Amino acid sequence: IRSGAGGAESCSGLDAELSYVRNDVVNHYALSFNLLIPSETNNLHFSWHAKSKVEYKLGFQVDNPMAMAMPQANISLQGEVPRTLSVFRVELSCTGRLDSEVTILMQLNLTINSSKNITVLNFKRRKMCYKKLEPEVKSPTSDKNSSKAIFDPVNAAPTTSTRVFYISVGVCCAVIFLVAIILAVLHLHSMKRIELDDRYGIYIGLFGSAGSSGYPTLRIEKNDLKSVTLMEAKAKVKDIAISRERITLKDVLQEGTFGRIFHGILIEEKDPSKEKQVFVKTVKDQASEVQVTMMLTESCKLRGLHHRNLLPITHVCIEEGEKPMVLLPYMNWGNLKLFLRQCKLVEANNPQAISQQDLVHMAIQIACGMSYLARREVIHKDLAARNCVIDDALQVKITDNALSRDLFPMDYHCLGDNENRPVRWMALESLVNNEFSSASDVWAFGVTLWELMTLGQTPYVDIDPFEMAAYLKDGYRIAQPINCPDELFAVMACCWALDPEERPKFQQLVQCLTEFHAALGAYV
Ligand SMILES: *[C@@H]1O[C@H](CO)[C@@H](O)[C@H](O)[C@H]1NC(C)=O
Ligand SMILES: *[C@@H]1O[C@H](CO)[C@@H](O)[C@H](O)[C@H]1NC(C)=O
Ligand SMILES: *[C@@H]1O[C@H](CO)[C@@H](O)[C@H](O)[C@H]1NC(C)=O
Ligand SMILES: *[C@@H]1O[C@H](CO)[C@@H](O)[C@H](O)[C@H]1NC(C)=O
């Protein structure tokens, strides 16, 4: 038997070894793995030796040179494979300039006894590179640069200067908070009360009296905060779990403090040449178990439902040692709220960027999806533009609210009960009694319609979240947006009737908006 090169890799922290060539036989199965390297691992070790003369050439490729510098090996790029078992090291260093998953290719060309035959071995690795300080393995004592130590998230011990900083920030916040309360109180007293019933009573007639319309009475659900453990959450999605190997991460689309949404590629199980584009919701390394559990649980809100205006979860990846990932079908224009805000920016130069008719068409699609949910007695509880997505055909789909609290922190508020809620989108009975129903979803739909018409503005932006309940009780609502036709504002206002039974049903909203859409078409 002619000798060959034996190559094995042992990964730090892993006991397993993978052999790539043994007794002249190439292990193609092992080579086909695209192994994920933990983001804190910067060195790979390969051990090898040959029984006779084997020449090698070594080369590297990275798919994103902005995120990762060219890997460096501590052997020369060309030479002879050693005859005794030796180790070489490959150093992978992220540049720290952007967040990205990098695919690394290490190519080892072997020629035996100077023959013309080349055996090409391709080793593929993936690694996540993150912006800012890439955690270097360095002991804090050896690092004399104190400014660095303060911002090191692991070793950050409050020094005197940071403590002073926090105290001053605390004092500032208290002062700002007091001023805010005083302003809010003054504001409330100076504001004219909108007599909803007087002005919009006629429109409520538009939808007929809900009580007599033959719809079943509302199913009311309390927001139960049953604590689910991570194990239970994972067990619930086991049946849609897939292997990490099938997912490739591309760009980061949205990023919060612990959550991230990627544009990803999913390889089909049956035919690996087929690919599907996906959204991948995942968490960063510092996410807590509670946050991970919440992402998994909330991702399942629309699971198993099929409607063209709903975007439910399709797969998860919950492999040991990896952060869980949640996969949803891709919609190429992404998040609806971010899309609307973009339109607003473009609108300054080009007023016809998006027409009112387009916006009404989006509202109809949302109402259709919600109508389906209401028929299935599914209560969404967090309908808003931020929880919808859109594609280039202006097709809109409603999705779950997993990670929204992290990605849109300004839209959620804690009212002293430790629960972060979308206060400005909530019906009064949900705010006060924690009661949710399809009618409270209708309320949120009214706010979403307002978001569409204002191209993504924040509702009740001047109102303190703590004052929202009192404000709504007094009969105040969001003002009619400029350029919003009276008929359309009337539809919103109906959604905000204090009595849940008086609000229109989604089916009625679809009908009414469709008629309005047709009328707009007739005038254009
Ligand atoms: C290995 O061989 C292939 C095919 O001959 C060639 O394209 C490639 O550049 C070689 N790689 C290295 C690192 O020399
Ligand atoms: C390369 O690095 C490894 C591990 O750090 C070491 O064991 C090996 O001796 C080094 N090889 C050379 C040629 O310097
Ligand atoms: C070189 O490759 C040819 C065809 O692929 C094969 O028949 C031959 O045995 C190889 N020679 C050596 C020395 O491996
Ligand atoms: C500390 O870091 C800053 C910025 O990276 C650098 O300019 C400075 O020279 C460093 N000081 C020491 C003592 O290393």
Q: What is the pLDDT of residues 49-89, one digit of tens each?
A: 888 889 999 999 999 899 999 999 999 999 999 998 899 99
CA 140 to centroid of ligand 4, rounded, Å: 15
pLDDT at res. 177: 54
Q: How far is the CA of 76 from the centre of ligand 2 (A)?
A: 11
pLDDT(178) > 60 = no
pLDDT surpasses 50 at 424: yes
Ranges 111-115, 235-239, 337-341: which has the least confidence: 111-115
Beta carbon of 114 within 6 Å of any ligand 3 atom? no
Q: pLDDT tens across 355-373, in order?
A: 899 999 999 999 999 999 9
Minimal-distance CA residue to ligand 1 atom 1: 109
Q: Which ligand is nearest to the CA of 74?
A: 2
206: helix, strand or coil: helix
Tell whether domain 225-329 is in CATH 3.30.200.20.
yes
What's the rounded Cα separation, in Å, for the pair 296 and 285?
A: 16
Please say whether the structural domain 2-129 has been given the CATH code 2.60.40.2170.
yes
| pLDDT tens digits along 381-394 | 999 999 999 999 99
% of the chain residues with pLDDT over 90: 54
Q: Which of 163-172, 218-227, 322-331 has the lowest mean pLDDT?
A: 163-172
Write the pLDDT tens digit of every residue in 88-121.
999 999 888 888 889 999 999 999 877 788 889 9
Homologous superfamily of the 336-522 domain (CATH): Transferase(Phosphotransferase) domain 1 (1.10.510.10)
d(CA 260, CA 178): 35
The answer to whether the CB of 110 falls within 8 A of the CB of 54 is yes
Q: What local confidence, expressed as pLDDT, does residue 29 receive?
A: 66
The pLDDT value given to residue 390: 96
Mutate to test the pocket of ligand 3, among 117, 118, 119, 120 (most ligand atoms within 8 A of CB): 117
For the chain, percent helix, then strand, then coil, each to nearest 5? 35, 25, 40
Alpha helices in 256-412 (DSSP H): 289-299, 336-347, 356-375, 404-407
Tell whether the model's pLDDT for residue 457 goes beyond 90. yes
Annotated active-site residue 63? The verdict is no
What is the predicted pLDDT for the residue at 156? 35
Which residue has better confidence, 332 or 96? 332
